[in-house]
Structure 1
């Protein structure tokens, strides 16, 4: 492994740091040193627990990034001396984020294990937590890790971390686990699931591309299916049938989020006829699109020099559907993906990131996996369309992190939270 997280963090606690801490807290250096051997793997295990067992890798990643800057021996010493930078109080907040109501139990465990006062264990833990998480956050920023990449990184480090937890420390019991190996297995399973989903999504795109390029027969098949559906509807209506079965496709719909440029969504119970338009690109290409759709808004944005790009600038696909519960893009949705590829070709300076979102229903970990695999599927589709790789800055699944509607809301409300978007990072 090229980066050893555990030993990198341990390296922050130099002899000078141990000596300063002992002097400030009125403890022996051996007691402080022993406490650190329990604190560092405990904090990192809390991070594994939040990302894996609690199913919040995005929250774990953000917690680590929030501590970036605290990861130095000098900061540790100044924090212990006079709470410089407010890192001691920030450490309290970070600990609550990882361990919730179990922080006091953790402090008692450290004090008992190291033979120091609980007040000393508390101060040392509050100082060490930002330094520990800041090391993780700095690495995540340097490597530009998204939530999925962060999970994979933690999975690569978990054996070292869990193996360093002192025997008799009972961290597993504090976290409500049967054993720490249970945490390791769960994290490994989630990471493997993410990898498998991405691979399946990529293969699905390849298969679809081969079918589409090999023959136009799929177009006729689609038309026949549409005719059959219309005929069936007519027969049911004509026979006076009062009970119909609704077959729903899992649709990634447009969503109105704050500070996000998106297509307008109709209110529940209303029907809005969409106006077809032609969108002209600088290279002479003309796209078939909808007024207010992603092509219309994205091209207008890229042409407008007064509107800056940035990580908060998002545009939602408005005609992109997947097969239910999967990352397979339906054939009738390929046209919009192709339009985005054409737009990127016409605006070679543009750089985008793909984001996937779900509603709040279902298991949060499954939502993250599904949103990640769907975002990966769109990214893979753009690559098969010969999009310049330099223009594609990755894909990230956010699950239900930004969903607005509660899990119990009607589907008309929840479907606005299910979407795939592109963020324009450069233009």
Structure 2
């Protein structure tokens, strides 16, 4: 089964980026998410149909050196190279794509155009990183893009089609141009001689048909009984439509969102003997920041989230009464917002610093408390690389906290790769995100 490029990109377009884009563009998060869902397959399809385009191949080959993935929101503004690339891919159909996505997602055309730039940058950057990691030359990149042609149509969300996206002739690369097929007439059988045409007269063609006695299909009834098929077919179609509608409604009720963003297969969490446990984060649910009371100081966090649970634990006296480190090692607090950029151990996603600052405030309020940071990944990728990167990320957080004046309270930072991952590597990226967390625990 060929690689699905969209799986490479999803980590770049998680809830943290959606929130930031929503704030930057002045649109609802649901509208931003819906637009991205429609733009992703359109952009991947455009690249696949231009798999031999030198501009596309050069952009992907040069992406790692340009640091594209580190500044996706910057691409949402006017960006010459992205716009030039899009013009090369979609031509005069570009505005039609922007308008269609704006209408579909309920956002402005300007926001749709900005998100198209962002999604294109995420796609080029992710494919470029994959190509660099796997030593793909331009021929290999071209083959990778070509492989997407068979799956693009299946990736479009409900309510969108290549036709509705106004993408024009390039969609023919996916054989979705049935409405444009010309009807080709074959040779016409003319068993009777055609009379010699009269001078200056229009040529005429006589068409004859061989029909057997009793009609073309003598074993079929010739009366108008065919219409009776609708007596049972129409109710069946209505039943199928009603069943589909009910299924979609149930699916909507069951759909939830998670506040943890999967940066890539090498995101982080904490410690050794077991996976981090935090009931506030093991559930995938929509959460809203609220005021968390830290001895009269209000921190922004989730009720039942990391800050809330840590403060509650400290206030209860359970930390002070713990006899040793063994009594604390199983009590983990998962970060809700701290995520690294894809493949990086030194760059945090925007919005991560706020929760780290909350942790500093907690430690300064309880100077006797000590903590440990660590790293965990999912089961995808080389394990040695997973351990290395997860350890580097944990160390980065430890060093960052030390610079805020709490160095003596951070006792360690370790990376454990996928040692404690529970989700199979063949699962979806969203499912594997449960194993890619950052967490902190108290120590003695």
Q: Which has the higher Rg, Structure 1 or Structure 2?
A: 2
Which has more helix, going by share of residues?
1
TM-score (norm 1): 0.41
